[in-house]
Structure 1
Amino acid sequence: MANAKSMRSVKSLSIRSIRSSGVEKAFREEKKGNGDIHSFDKILIMACKKFDCPYIVNVPKQVKPDYLKNFKQANIKLRSKRISVLSEHLPVPNESDIKIERKSSSRSSIKTEYISIEPLPIITVTMVYDNYNTLTEILITKMKDVPRSLLRIFHLLLPYYRNLVRITISKCEINMYTIYKLGKILETSTITEVCLDDSPVAGANYAMLLETTKLRYLSLCRCNIGVEACKSIAAKLHYAASAQNLLLLNLSSNRITDEGAKHISNALRNNRHLRYLNLADNHITDCGAGQILDILIEFPLTSDEIIIMRRRRLEYWKRRNDIYAKCLAQLCHKKVNDVSQLRKKSPRRKISSTSLKNKSSVRKEKDADDDYIKTKAEMLTTEVVGPFEDPFRSETIKHIDGHVYSIGNMTLSYLNLAYNNLSYLSVRKLQNVIKYQNNYKSSGGLIKVVIEGNKLPISCPELTNVDEMMARNSLKINRVEKQ
């Protein structure tokens, strides 16, 4: 009975109840300078107690090592050092304290209800801090069931921590509600990285995590992702889709076949943000790998892609012309008001022969003012609208024999196809891709490809050529960036 009562109180968790409690007051005091008293770990424990959550939260702290500092020290002392992660654990309540607390909370109903003396389950939520004592990551691992009430509390508390960028739930049993709530947390917080490694959900729609443009990193390693899940993820990676700004996608150790690779290659046709793609340890053959590699070189555009490209270009110029007209009208109106105020202040003068002679000079000044206004309106319009950004803009397409070709995806830098079912044919195609990208004038292209663990010959000079060409491509990109 008491257990059901606590569950009802957890379900009634809302923003209004948070504000009526002492949690928001703690945030206000933290902003005033009492951050040591009301840090996230203590606020989380206080919120779980306030809403009678049927578990105890253990919040250990972890500090990320400063790799650059340790590297410099190793160079000075001429010996390698092992970088250790410092951890600081909060004290876990004793079993006797738990019994006393449960007895005191249900003292009023001790005559009619049975009090269980079994200890509450302990949930560990690790807080990862950087060297400046700033919370940057939340880590939950090896948990049989992630409570819904804990996710609701996260949804309410995390927007207050503006330096938090990552949440990791690994080796846990999660469900569709966890995916749904994580999507809501991404919308309201500053989290841009999500890791769900070893946390599969049967029939899960992971595309719910890609409903926001904030997400930059998504890792779904060992999540039993098949063709349908891969298709829904790839649909969010297209140009102008919700997750087009994703930079890193890890889909290693799943059940992705050539059909799933085809969906990913279709997304790469117009995606110009994804830089890291990990498809290691899947079921991709030369056919699926070839579909991805064909997008990294020159490929023809379909009729639908040409129509959509032209439509986007027309919409851009229509919007630009509308904004230009508004800016020009505002500047002309401002000039008329300035001239009228100047005439009111200055006395009227009689028309003389000299003033008539100077009409031509006045007209020249007026023309110069008009040119200045038009130039300023053009600058304001460019500042508001910006240049025309499109995967198939004029700089990235070619017209050959009446057909329109794209120069290829030059954004993808890292591709991992290790431990699949590739053969020597994929190595040959990869060599052609790297050669094409190196010979192309613009910067970009692959700088790292991993294909170990496949059915490749022991002696393969093409692999050596690929490594050398990628090294040259990396130097070319670094030289362009420095310039």
Structure 2
Amino acid sequence: MKKRSEKVSKEKGSSGFEEEITKIGGLNLQDKGSVQTTDDYQCSGILELDFPELCALAGVSEIPTVKLRQPTAASPSPSTDRGAMEGSPTQISSGSPVTTWCREPYLQIEKENGDSRTVKKVRVSGWMVDEVMARVLSKILPSLSNLQSLEMWRARLTDRTLTSLKNTITLCSNLRTVILDGNPIPGQAYYILLGEDSLVTHLSLRNNRIEEEGARLIGSALSTVHSTNRNLLSLNMAFNSIGDAGAIHIAQGLRLNRSLLCLSLANNHVGDSGAAHLAEVLGPFALTHEEIVERRRQLIMRDQLVPSQGVGTDSTGEHPLSIPSNSSIECNTSKVSKSSSKKKDAPKRDEKPAAGQTGATAAKKEEHKMTKKASDTKIARGRGGKSGGKDKHPSVTEQEEKSSSVQKSEEVVETLSPLLDPDVRHVEGKVIHPGNTALISLNLSGNKLTKQSLHMFLSLVGGQGEGGLLRLSLNVSFLEFLQRNNFPLDCEAFLNIQAMMSLKAPLIKAGSGQVDDEEGQAA
């Protein structure tokens, strides 16, 4: 009897496990035959189960295997790996051997705490993602609620698959890091990943043969007078061919962008002309006519958020940056309410008491009325019309919320728009902006810079003081086969830049202008 009961329990346990797997897969065995297309498939959030099923439904002839990469404390992440940072032709894949092609396609994933439902990284390495595979990924990636990083290295993307990928990224709630190295696209439409609604914070576009037109589109996506990207923190465009013209477009995008912290334009054939425009926007620069018009429009919109008491205009015809505080507005309001209550109560004081009433009784009633009106003037009544102590506190809270909402609206307008920077000043008929001090890391190593660029950046770093750039890389020392800029390492201006940068960021190695960037920027 004991053996029979054990056998029955084992059979029940195995059947229960099969039912659990079936439920996890998102389909019952009876319902599985009714699924004919990828649109009918319900993802479970477990990539190892969903990916083969979706590939089979999509008609993929050679289904890539799913390989799990165990994260270790010793192995660097793809963004900080030295080979990946430099964007060299032989990429290093986070502890994997150096490869330039993939004999057997596989999808590499990384999980948190070994949980099947916590895939945080997905990597495609060296095999083509065509339109069919793009449809599979568009179905499965949004179901991974913990997905944070997506890397496609040499996936032979096209304009259509890039558009599909962009739509997929939009549906992934926690995806913030996108690496598309080694994917040259004829249309160079990488800018679509940087729309105003994009939540991508780290974007790598190395080895994509981006030229002037691609740089122009990316620069416009970073910012224009009327729009700006507010989420991107790091952009790596190393090993492309944007040249001076492309660097000028990127500099234009930095004028009104205040979210980007790290930018790499290493090995892009950038000369002194492009470097000059980059240095210009990082220091004080004059606003264009279009920017001045937009600045005045934003000032008017901001001033409309609060009462116009005490707001005048300055000599330039623009509204001043100072706004009356909430305390002064409340004082003026209380004064007006007190004066109005006195005027309304004045006729009632002169009224004679009614017949049958004594003077004392009339005085008490009049005093009670005045007290009640004064309390009603100071504090609004509650919804029920009662003026008890319980209703006084919510009314005060409502007034505070109104004033705080006005203050928050002012702060939002000022913080989101660099045109309303309080340090903007007027000099000799020009409106001078203090410049982009948000960018803290700039990599221009491996280009065509000369001593002329060194003197410009030396002046820039000295003028920024404690803020602004903390990392400025102008040369490469540890990879000898890479191109160098056209100045000697013992140049006085270069040594002075190193000394100044070491004072601003003492933890950064300043031996040869080399900078380690945790966001994937080349040193």
User: What is the TM-score with the length of structure 2 in the denominator?
Assistant: 0.65
After TM superposition, list the pairs within 5 Å mapping 1:434-453 onto structure 2.
434-438=461-465, 444-452=467-475, 453=484
In 2: Cα distance, 1:132 partner to 1:313 partner: 53
Q: Deviations over 1:346-382 (max 9, x none)?
A: xxxx974213135554454334326945444212444
Aligned AA (1:217) = H
Structure 2 CA distance for aligned equivalents of residues 57 and 413 of structure 1: 40
1:125 matched to 2:107: yes
Instruction: Flag structure 2 segments of 5+ consecutive residues without an equivalent.
Output: 1-34, 77-92, 97-102, 308-325, 327-356, 381-394, 476-483, 508-523
1:258-407 equivalences in 2 (<5 Å):
258-318=244-304, 352-369=362-379, 372=396, 374-383=399-408, 386-388=411-413, 389=415, 390-407=417-434
With over 3 angstroms needed to count, the CA separation of the structure-2 counterparts of 1:380 and 1:202, relative to structure 1, is closer
CA deviation vs aligned residue, 1:63-83 (integer Å, no higher than 9, x gap):
2223599xxxxxxxxxxxxxx
- Aligned partner of 2:167 in structure 1 is 184
SS in 2 for 1:128: strand
Q: In 1, are the aligned partners of 2:37 and 2:57 still within 8 Å (CA)?
A: no
Aligned residue pairs: how many?
A: 372
Q: State the structure with more CA Rg.
A: 2
Match of 2:126 in 1: 142
The one-letter amino acid paired with 1:281 is: N
Alpha-carbon separation, structure 1, partners of 2:493 and 2:119: 46
Q: 2:485 aligns with which of 454, 466, 477?
A: 454
Q: Which runs of 5+ in 1 are unaligned?
A: 1-14, 31-38, 70-83, 88-120, 325-349, 477-483
Match of 1:421 in 2: 448
CA–CA distance in structure 1, aligned partners of residues 420 and 408 of structure 2: 19
Q: What is the CA-CA distance between 1:252 and the residue it aligns to? A: 0.9
Equivalent position SS for 1:295: helix
Aligned residues of 1:256 and 1:284 also touching (Cα < 8 A): yes
Give the direction of change, closer, same or farther, for the CA distance of 1:201–1:464 in structure 2 (3 Å limit): same
Moved more, 296-305 or 59-68: 59-68
Q: CA RMSD, aligned part only?
A: 3.2
1:207 correspondence with 2:156: no
Please tell me the residue identity of whatever aligns with 1:356: E
C-alpha contact (below 8 Å) 2:228/2:256 kept by paired residues: no
**1:346 maps to what in 2?**
none
Q: Aligned equivalents of 2:205 and 2:492: distance in 1?
A: 34
Residue 156 of structure 1 aligns with an amino acid whose one-letter code is K
CA distance in structure 1 between the aligned counterparts of 2:405 and 2:424, rounded to whole angstroms: 29
CA deviation vs aligned residue, 1:368-410 (integer Å, no higher than 9, x gap): 3269454442124445675322102142312223421111100
Residues 305/378 of structure 1: CA separation in 2 closer, same or farther (3 Å cut): same
Q: Relative to 1, partners in 2 of residues 1:210 and 1:202: Cα closer, same or farther, differing over 3 Å?
A: same
Which residue type is aligned with residue 304 of structure 1?
E
- When the two structures are superposed, what TM-score results if normalisation uses the length of structure 1? 0.70
CA spacing shift, 1:203–1:68, aligned 2, 3 Å: closer
- CA positional deviation for 1:318: 3.9
The Cα shift of 1:157 comes to: 1.6
- Seen in structure 2, the aligned counterparts of structure 1 residues 151 and 253 have a Cα distance that, compared at 3 Å, is same
Question: Which whole-Å CA distance do the structure 2 matches of 1:192 and 1:161 have between them?
Answer: 13
Tell me the CA shift for residue 302 of structure 1: 1.2
Would you say the 8 A contact 1:238–1:244 is kept in 2? no
Partners of 1:275 and 1:414 within 8 A in 2: yes
SS at match of 1:236: helix
Deviation of 1:316 after TM superposition, in Å, equals 3.9
1:208, CA displacement in angstroms?
A: 2.1
Q: 2:404 is aligned with what amino acid?
A: M
Q: Deviations over 1:415-450 (max 9, x none)?
A: 000011101111111111111111xxxx63100111
Alpha-carbon deviations, 1:246-293, whole Å to 9, x = none?
111111111111111111111111111111110011111111101100
| SS of match in other structure, 2:213 | helix
2:160 matches 1:174: no
Describe the superposition over 1:84-103 as per-residue Cα deviations: whole angstroms up to 9, x where unpaired: 9789xxxxxxxxxxxxxxxx
Q: Report if aligned partners of 1:63, 1:131 keep a CA contact under 8 Å in 2.
A: no
The match for 2:99 is: none
Task: Indicate the structure whose relative CO is greater, using CA pairs within 8 Å and at least 6 residues apart.
Answer: 2
For the residues of structure 1 that align with 2:401 and 2:219, how far apart are their CA atoms?
A: 42
Higher helix share goes to which structure?
Answer: 1
Q: CA deviation at 1:228?
A: 0.6
370-379 or 181-190: which moved more?
A: 370-379
Q: Which residue of 2 aligns with 1:193?
A: 177
User: 1-side partners of 2:69 and 2:246: how far apart?
Assistant: 38
Show the counterpart of 1:43.
50
* Alignment partners' CA distance in 2, 1:375 and 1:189: 38
Q: Are residues 298 and 204 of structure 1, via their aligned partners in 2, closer, same or farther at CA, if it must alter by over 3 Å?
A: closer
CA distance in structure 2 between the partners assigned to 1:380 and 1:409 by the alignment: 29
Instruction: State the distance in 2 between where 1:185 and 1:16 align.
Output: 22
Indicate how the Cα distance of structure 1 residues 67 and 149 shifts in structure 2: closer, same or farther if over 3 A, else same. Answer: same
Relative to 1, partners in 2 of residues 1:20 and 1:255: Cα closer, same or farther, differing over 3 Å?
Answer: closer
Q: Give the match for residue 159 of structure 1.
A: 142
Match of 2:497, as an amino acid? V
1:242 shift after superposition: 6.0
Aligned to 1:340: none
**2:505 aligned partner:** 474
> In the alignment, is the contact (CA less than 8 A) between 1:215 and 1:245 conserved in 2?
yes
User: Given that residues 167 and 193 in structure 1 are in contact (C-alpha distance below 8 angstroms), is that contact kept between their aligned partners in structure 2?
Assistant: yes
**Equivalent-residue separation in structure 2 for 1:460 and 1:155 (angstroms):** 52
SS at match of 2:422: helix
Report what 2:202 is aligned to.
Answer: 217
Percent identity of paired positions between Structure 1 and Structure 2? 24
Compute the displacement of 1:155 (Å).
0.9
Q: Which residue of the partner structure matches residue 231 of structure 1?
A: 216
User: What letter is aligned with 2:492?
Assistant: P
**8 A Cα contact 1:179 1:209, kept in partner:** no
Which residue identity is paired with 2:283?
I
**1:423–1:86: structure 2 CA closer, same or farther, 3 Å change rule?**
closer
CA distance in 2, matches of 1:459, 1:186: 46
Q: How far does residue 168 in structure 1 lie from its aligned partner after superposition?
A: 1.0
Query: 2:283–2:464: 8 Å Cα contact kept in structure 1?
Result: yes
3-state DSSP of counterpart to 2:64? strand
After superposition, what is the alpha-carbon deviation per residue over 1:163-216, rounded to whole angstroms, capped at 9, x for unaligned? 112211112322112211111111111322211111212233212222342111
The alpha-carbon deviation at position 150 of structure 1 amounts to 1.7
